[in-house]
Amino acid sequence: MLFEEYINFNYQFPEPQYLGAKYTHLSWINNFIPKNVKTVLDAFSGSQSVAFLFKQLGFKTITNDYLNFNNQIGLALIENNGTKLTNEDLDILLKPSKQKADFELIENIYTNVFFEKSEAQFLDNFRANISLLNNTFKQALAYTVINRSMTRKITMGHFGHTQALVYANDPERIKRNRSLVRPIKDIFEDILPKYNNAVFDNKQENKSFNKNILDLIPTIRNIDLAYFDPPYCDSHADYQGFYHLLETYTEYWKDKEFINGIKRYEPQRYSGFDKKRDVISSFDKLFELSDDIPHWLISYNNRSYPGVEEFGKIISKYREVKIETKTYHYGRGGKGSVAGSQEILFVCTPKKKHFISQNKGNHISDERF
């Protein structure tokens, strides 16, 4: 490791609370990153924990998630090489908004669902003020930290249940987790320094995208390594069900319906990787489109559809594959992390292809990569 990369490891990724985050597996994944890669893609980046590792390793890091609240983390911590939120910015974010009438979505939809009225009003006011910050990275940091504050406040850190206010009034739960009764503003001010301190410059032009990966891949070139961590289909794949509120807050939808007890938005974004009926053809498409990217690392779990063996066969149409496994002994670590289930990494390298050179009619046999 170069000296500058050691310095990058002085920066700490703020602990995420996101289903399937690879935060606790980073040093294991790091063992399988091939040597001599320079530009890398984190294709399904979620909390951005793997993209952050790539940035620390000094790679030019391209990161992507089709949910915008995750893209905001990518802008704030991966693409952003130096901008932080200052006390003056905080004053802007917390002052009473003049646009109150246009910012009542959280109060109208989520009062008494996830928040009491005053907290919902605080969130709307803060959201109105984000657009007053004059810089994309500052705005991204504001979204990142307020969204994380919301997951701290809600039991289990997701919005796929309707027990938030019940739990927030349960003394036993409050004893275990004080955040349930803390004002969101306090949580925000408490965790903001962790995010500011995680902003650093790895001397590369990193980039965060907010696209369906099948639309993004054809537009990017010269990637040496792609990391694919798709939703584990059939086992906690419904990211829009769990985190709908963060997407609604970030997008501040004007054109959606809010349905069911949890008031998730409808229609949802199309993934292609979260439903059994789509997933196999989506993988085939993804792998075909990724043909120019020599190395792939693919995270998987032994409880997903298709099963490990079948998935391995799909990958082996395109790449040489080695399967690495890490067994969970405890029930912690995110999506699918029940004790006994396995975190799997498909380590994929180029197939040795032979081709006939067109040059001067000479027939040359060579390795493609």
User: Would you tell me which residues interact with ligand SAM (CB under 6 A)?
Assistant: 18, 20-22, 44-47, 49-50, 64-67, 70, 212-213, 229-231, 239, 271-273
Nearest to 251 by CA among 210, 208, 191: 210
In the block, tokens 């409808």 appear at 266
Q: Minimum distance between the CB of residue 94 and ligand SAM, rounded to whole angstroms?
A: 29
| H or E segment to which residue 213 belongs | helix 213-216
Toward ligand SAM, which CB reaches closer, 70 or 125? 70
Toward ligand SAM, which CB reaches closer, 14 or 230? 230
Toward ligand SAM, which CB reaches closer, 122 or 160? 160
| H or E segment to which residue 74 belongs | none
Q: Minimum distance between the CB of residue 115 and ligand SAM, rounded to whole angstroms?
A: 23
Q: Classify the C-alpha dihedral 79-247-152-146 as positive or negative.
A: positive
Measured from each CB, the residue nearest to ligand SAM is: 46
Q: Minimum distance between the CB of residue 270 and ligand SAM, rounded to whole angstroms?
A: 7
What is d(CA 73, CA 51) in angstroms, rounded to the nearest whole number? Answer: 10
Neighbours of 215 (CB within 10 A): 12
Instruction: Say what angle helices 117-130 and 184-196 make with each other, to 10 degrees.
Output: 40
SS3 label, residue 300: strand
What is d(CA 21, CA 17) in angstroms, rounded to the nearest whole number? Answer: 8
Nearest to 365 by CA among 349, 354, 352: 354
| H or E segment to which residue 40 belongs | strand 39-42
Q: Minimum distance between the CB of residue 303 and ligand SAM, rounded to whole angstroms?
A: 13
What is d(CA 282, CA 317) in angstroms, rounded to the nearest whole number? Answer: 14
Q: Minimum distance between the CB of residue 126 and ligand SAM, rounded to whole angstroms?
A: 24
Q: Minimum distance between the CB of residue 212 and ligand SAM, rounded to whole angstroms?
A: 4
Q: Minimum distance between the CB of residue 338 and ligand SAM, rounded to whole angstroms?
A: 15
CA distances from 353 to 283, 304, 356, 368, 369 (A): 22, 31, 10, 6, 8
